[in-house]
Amino acid sequence: MTRTLASTPAADGFRMPGEFEPHAGCWMLWPERPDNWREAARPAQLAFAQVATAIARFEPVTVGASSAHYAAARALLPEQVRVLEMAHDDAWMRDVGPTCVVNDRGVVRGVDWHFNAWGGLNGGLYFPWDQDDLVARKVLETECLERYRAPMVNEGGAIHVDGEGTALVTEECLLNPNRNPRFERADIERHLREYLGVTQILWLGKGVVDDETGGHIDDLACFVRPGVVCLTWTDRRRDPQYARSLDALERLQDARDARGRRVRVVRLPMPGPLRMRAHEAAGIIPREGSRPRLAGERLAATYVNFYIANGGIVMPLLDARTDAAAAARLKRLFPGRRVVGVPSREILLGGGNIHCITQQIPAGTRSRSPSAR
Ligand code: KQY
């Protein structure tokens, strides 16, 4: 049985590692909701399968599928991808999966945040979300990793860390009262310190325009390595994204990380703007209580939502006019990794991208604590 611990990661000497540190593997979920994914989720399933296949070139991948979709997922995914039956409400493993932490003896544990579908009954994207809220625990039990249940609503896509004590977050998301209405900024900071093992929190302002998560950092910016941040960027001054990215740039230029370093910011030009097409919206079956998807809506398209695998970068391909330039920039940023692009518009139509549908388990040297078996 996997123990749930009453202490906190920081008190126990644990920290969240950067995504660029070694992984034991990656977890994903299988999309199926017809109110979020067009054409009964078939095009999205093909895109998820391509992402899983690309990541499996670099590290082991596990995909959780509902009992109704297990056979289809197994048939579409290559043999080297492990498929397990796992109930869920939608397919955003970044947000519903565990945030893993490690100590300096190589033990890995997991933080299980409370999940409320990005805002609960006050702007959340669907109801109910009870199966999503169980996913992190199931992943930790499957991996035999001990669990911390954090007393806070949070999502993996709302946090990035450099693994050396610095967290990167947005005010738009973490201070939104639809997550933790009773918490002030200081309470949020205290919980991030305790559950991520960080000492310095870099607050950016707003995330990407029309990001339905309410400003997730994983669409706006991420650490490439300690001291280097990659920021989604547009030179189009009339685009409402311009002021958001400029504000983020200025805050980062003024910042010091946990080690007292200035942060180098690398701009990653964004695709588009991209919008939902009429035939795409027509393939979605609306459902009461779920966010409607309408033709013409701007999509939260950004190349920053890539996944860092062992020796690889799996990046979204979104716009033939800008994909090659983005890939070239990522190659320069990650010289030791192979950059693999996956067409991901079908994932974007569901409101996120490759980073949002994946969650890494850090390698550790002793990932299974004896008491967790
Ligand atoms: O940004 C993410 N980490 C998740 C996107 C969720 C979109 C829900 N429809």
Q: Closest residue (by CA) to atom 8 of ligand 1?
A: 351
Residue 102 to residue 104: CA distance in whole angstroms: 7
User: At which residue do the structure tokens 């974007």 appear?
Assistant: 348
Residue 9 to residue 274: CA distance in whole angstroms: 40
Catalytic residue among 26, 100, 230, 356: 356
Give the CA distances from residue 307 to residues 20, 144, 330, in Å, rounded to whole numbers and listed in that order: 9, 24, 11
Query: How many angstroms is it from 95 CA to the middle of ligand 1?
Result: 7
Give the pLDDT confidence score for residue 144 in this predicted structure: 95
pTM of the predicted protein model? 0.97
From 214, 265, 274, select the one nearest 239 (Cα to Cα): 274
Q: Taking the mean position of all CA atoms in its chain, how far away is CA 247?
A: 22
User: At which residue do the structure tokens 């490690």 appear?
Assistant: 102
Q: Is 356 a catalytic residue?
A: yes
Tell me what percent of the residues of the chain surpass a pLDDT of 90. Answer: 96
Measured from the Cα of 352, ligand 1's closest atom is 5
Residue 314 to residue 178: CA distance in whole angstroms: 31
Task: Say whether 28 sits in a helix, a strand or coil.
Answer: strand
**Dihedral (C-alpha) 29, 67, 142, 36: value to the nearest 10 degrees?**
20
Residue 232 to residue 248: CA distance in whole angstroms: 9
Give the residue, out of 95, 135, 297, with the most ligand 1 atoms within 8 A of its beta carbon, to mutate for a pocket test. Answer: 95
The b-or-e profile of 132-165 (16+ CB within 10 A means b, else e) is bbbbbbbbbeebbbbbbbbebbbbbbbbbbbbbb
Give the residue, out of 88, 155, 169, 360, with the most ligand 1 atoms within 8 A of its beta carbon, to mutate for a pocket test. Answer: 155
Residue pLDDT, tens place only, 143-157: 999 999 999 999 999
Give mean pLDDT, residues 106-127. 96
Q: Closest residue (by CA) to atom 2 of ligand 1?
A: 356
Residue 129 to residue 348: CA distance in whole angstroms: 20
- Cβ contact 288:235 at 8 Å: no
Residue 343 to residue 47: CA distance in whole angstroms: 7
Query: How many angstroms is it from 373 CA to the middle of ligand 1?
Result: 32
Residue 216 to residue 152: CA distance in whole angstroms: 16
Structure tokens at 62: 């596990």
Per-residue pLDDT band at 366 (split at 50, 70, 90): low
Residues linked to residue 5 through DSSP beta bridges, in sequence order: 148
Query: How many angstroms is it from 261 CA to the middle of ligand 1?
Result: 31
Residue pLDDT, tens place only, 230-283: 999 999 999 999 999 999 999 999 999 999 999 999 999 999 999 999 999 999
Mean pLDDT of the chain: 96
Give the pLDDT confidence score for residue 373 in this predicted structure: 47
pLDDT tops 60 at residue 367:
no
Residue 372 to residue 267: CA distance in whole angstroms: 42
Give the pLDDT confidence score for residue 369 in this predicted structure: 53
Residue pLDDT, tens place only, 181-234: 999 999 999 999 999 999 999 999 999 999 999 999 999 999 999 999 999 999
Structure tokens at 161: 């860390």
Which residues surround ligand 1 with Cβ inside 6 Å?
92, 94-95, 125, 157, 212-213, 216, 218-219, 350-352, 356
Give the pLDDT confidence score for residue 368 in this predicted structure: 54
State the first-to-last Cα distance of the chain, in angstroms, to the nearest integer. Answer: 6
Q: Closest residue (by CA) to atom 9 of ligand 1?
A: 351
Give the residue, out of 115, 118, 154, with the most ligand 1 atoms within 8 A of its beta carbon, to mutate for a pocket test. Answer: 118
Residue 90 to residue 154: CA distance in whole angstroms: 16
